[in-house]
A and B are shown apart, each in its own frame.
Chain A
Amino acid sequence: MNWPQFWQYTAANALLGIVPAVVGLAISVPLGIACVRWRWLYGPVLSATSVIYAIPSLALFVVLIPSTGLGNLTVIIPLTLFSLCVLVPNVVDGLRSVPEPVRQAATAMGFGTVRRLVRVELPLAVPIVIAGLRVAVVSSISLASVSTLIGVASLGYFFIDGLQRDFSEEIYAAIVAVIVLALGCDLILVLARRLLTPWSRKQGGRATINAEGGQLLQEQAI
């Protein structure tokens, strides 16, 4: 086992998985806000993201090769789009989950639209948004390993290498590494949510399970 190489590729995989989720979040928050503000926008956005989500990642990597070559960007762009599929509905649901009386009270107290969004609506949307972010990060890290098929460095390298050289240890190590990396990030996000939402009731209620179910339960708009 070439451990230095292994850690290097682990870091590469982490990058390929985390960057799409973060960029996806950065895009989906404004996009989600826009979809709540202009209801007609949500339908088309959902349709577009659903279409992209249905396409296998390898195919999307391949589509981008003429444009972005065989580098990290070819992997990061499709994974970012996948993250959007998960995160935009979560941002929208999160904002819509803010109880109407709370929103009304905020307006009545003199909160302007922007301030209300930042101080009241987004904080209350955090649990649902983080649920989506968990799905996005875990899926991205796992999917990133497919990048090896187009020659981009990730833990997937060890799957192929292990198969070709008949070196099972690499395969197992890489699988474990991907899972640990993904679930590690998942755990960090769970802790982040606990920290950010000290007001939440005990976890495990129906609403939380719904939020955790996340992408799996999205009603898609095609």
Chain B
Amino acid sequence: MITFDSVTKRYPDGTVAVDALDLEIPAGKTVVLVGPSGCGKTTTLRMINRLIEPTEGKIFLDGQDIQQANPSTLRRGIGYVIQQTGLFPHRTIEDNIATVPLLNGWAKAKARARARELMELVGLDQGMARRYPHQLSGGQQQRVGVARALAADPPVLLMDEPFSAVDPIVRATLQDELIRLQGELHKTIVMVTHDVEEAIKVGDIVAVFRPGGHLAQVDTPEHLLGAPADDYVEGFIGFDRGIRRLSFFSANSLDLDSDVVLGENATVDEARALAGRGRPWVLVADAERRPRGWVSAADLASRPGTERLGQLPLVPVGHTFRPELDSLRVALDATVLSRTERAVAVESEGRVLGVTSYEQLRDAIRKAEQAADDELAQGAAT
């Protein structure tokens, strides 16, 4: 756990980078500091490992005032990942990763073995161990940077815009990797980014900074999206927050319509009967109950009653979603994209569970928002 107690950083020329900051970073969580340039987020981060010293206030790491610790010793217990990686050009990948263990006095063989473990952990091919940093791509270098930070198994990991220098596809992959890693390791991660999407994706808690080194809001991503503290935060979060918030609501809450599904061997007559009961579209599934396509009431009208559904021309299913894993946002997106204004819910093997349309989505969204708002109100009350 890291605690900032009224911490201020003032520079000799009068600039105040951080102003009387009070912040608590719980152990084992990912806290993302986000804000525009010059808002003090990076300064805040770098005060944790004393690369910058506060002008006023104290910072506590697990109850100890970090000012009392020897800086080098403190830093060996804190992993640090930066945007430009700062990998040692004159060391191999493996020796780069082994740096802190070696500093701590480990035997070379043991340190290298540990390095290889970490390479596997961060998804690097073992064959790269003896290469030099300049031989790797940007994304690979960043993975080495993370591996190096984790080598001595520090409880705390600091990350300063670690993924800003790589292209968007690599960035998304690295973000996913980080989430996966954190799921395994449960470190206390403090990350700085200017990308609010990244903060929302990766963070358990997001701290939004205002220019001048003040905190505007510290909250979970859902709460941030649902109830921004003021216009500044709302503006910072950006447009579309209502829909983005839906990523935090599970699609499991949807009432799925399973009556609208018929097998491919069913007849047109059966389908027409369904359509007559107020279903303009009927979903045709194969023998394994995997979705094949849609047929409309209008199509059915002109067909001989005994024809099998499987032989009719079908409208493509489009995007499907998995209620167990996906969010309401995914379900909504699938529905919007669908030619039939209906999205198909499937389970892990691809078998149809049911269908949802805008009505069900609307109900599910309303319920979820109500529940979230109640929780917010309760939280505010306590």
Contact = CB atoms under 8 A, between A and B. Distances in A.
A110 B132 contact: no
A120 B88 contact: yes
A101 B103 contact: no
A111 interface: yes
Contact of B99 (A99, A109, A198): A109
B49 A108 contact: yes
B90 A109 contact: no
Given A110-B100, A120-B88, A123-B90, A105 B82 contact: yes
Contacts of B99: 109
Given A109-B80, A111-B103, A199-B132, A102 B75 contact: no
Given A101-B82, A101-B84, A109 B100 contact: yes
B103 A102 contact: no
A124 B75 contact: no
A101 B88 CA distance: 9
B68 interface: no
Contacts of A201: 134
A102 B88 contact: yes
Contact of A110 (B73, B83, B90): B73
A83 B86 CA distance: 33
Contacts of A103: 86
A111 B100 CA distance: 9
Interface string B55-77: 00000000000000000111110
Nearest to B89: A199
Nearest to B145: A105
Nearest to B92: A199
A99 B158 CA distance: 20
B86 A99 contact: yes
A109 B75 contact: yes
Nearest to A197: B90
B2 to A, nearest CB: 16
B335 interface: no
A36 to B, nearest CB: 18
A99 B74 CA distance: 24
Nearest to A103: B86
A199 B90 contact: yes
A198 B89 CA distance: 10
Interface string A189-213: 0000000011101000000000000
B218 interface: no
A110 B103 contact: yes
Interface string A158-179: 0000000000000000000000
A105 B87 contact: yes
Contacts of B148: 109
A101 B90 contact: no
Interface in B187-225: none
A111 B103 CA distance: 8
A172 to B, nearest CB: 44
A108 B89 contact: no
A192 to B, nearest CB: 15
Nearest to B151: A109
Interface string A115-132: 100001001100000000
B227 interface: no
A124 B133 CA distance: 14
A114 to B, nearest CB: 11
A182 to B, nearest CB: 29
Contacts of A120: 88, 90
Interface string A51-71: 000000000000000000000
Nearest to B80: A108
A2 interface: no
A5 interface: no
Most chain A CB inside 10 Å of its own CB: which residue of B51, B83, B86: B86
A106 B148 CA distance: 11
A109 B82 CA distance: 12
B103 A109 contact: yes
Given A123-B90, A199-B134, A110 B82 contact: no
A103 B86 CA distance: 7
B142 interface: no
Contact of A101 (B74, B75, B76, B85): B85
19 contacts: A99-B84, A104-B82, A105-B85, A106-B88, A108-B49, A108-B75, A108-B78, A108-B158, A109-B75, A109-B76, A109-B103, A110-B72, A110-B73, A110-B76, A110-B100, A123-B90, A124-B89, A197-B90, A199-B90
Given A104-B82, A110-B76, 12 more contacts: A101-B86, A102-B89, A105-B82, A105-B86, A105-B88, A107-B75, A108-B51, A108-B75, A109-B80, A120-B88, A124-B89, A199-B132
Interface of B: 49, 51, 72-76, 78, 80, 82-91, 99-100, 103, 132, 134, 148, 158
Interface of A: 99, 101-112, 115, 120, 123-124, 197-199, 201
